[in-house]
Structures are given as C-alpha cells and as structure tokens.
Amino acid sequence: METINLISNKELIEMGYRPHTANDIIHQARELLVSRGYTFYNRKRLMVVPKSVVNEILGTEVA
C-alpha cells in the first residue's frame, strides 16, 4: 500500500489547527516550494503540499 505524501489545509484543520493557521501553513509551504524552483505550486487555489515541507515549517512530524 502506498502512502500519500501530500497534506491539505482540511487535513491540518482535522488535526486541530485553526482554519486561518492551516491556510497560513499551506501558503508558507507553497512559497518555499516556489522559491526552490517548483513553479507548479505558484497557484492561489492550490491547497495541497508535500508533508515533508509542512514538517520542515512546523519543525515536527505530521501524521
């Protein structure tokens, strides 16, 4: 079984983050990915990012 290495703002909300905080985390992750050359993430409505980037931002392991 494959594990999905993406996380959405809705999943962050389910984990206990407030909606605005979840959106901020996703936004920061997208900005970081774009700065690393992943221009695919330069979209306003894209609310799914790799878990590894969220882990890097939060400094903890996200389930």
Residue 18: inside a domain: yes
> What are the residue ranges of helices labelled H in 1-63?
9-14, 19-35, 51-58
pLDDT of residue 2: 61
pTM as predicted: 0.89
Element (H, E) at 48: strand 48-50
**Is residue 21 situated within a structural domain?**
yes
- Say yes or no to pLDDT of 63 above 80: no
Q: How confident is the model at residue 4 (pLDDT cuts 50, 70, 90)?
A: confident
Q: How far is CA 15 from CA 18, 22, 36, in A?
A: 9, 10, 27
Beta-bridge partners for 26:
none
Does residue 55 belong to any structural domain of this protein? no
Confidence of residue 1 (pLDDT cuts 50, 70, 90): low
Does residue 54 lie in a domain region? no
| 1 is a domain residue | no
- As given in the structure block, the two tokens for residue 33 are 């990915």
Q: Does 51 have pLDDT greater than 60?
A: yes
Domain of 30 in residue numbering reads as: 7-35
Structurally, the chain folds into a number of domains equal to: 1
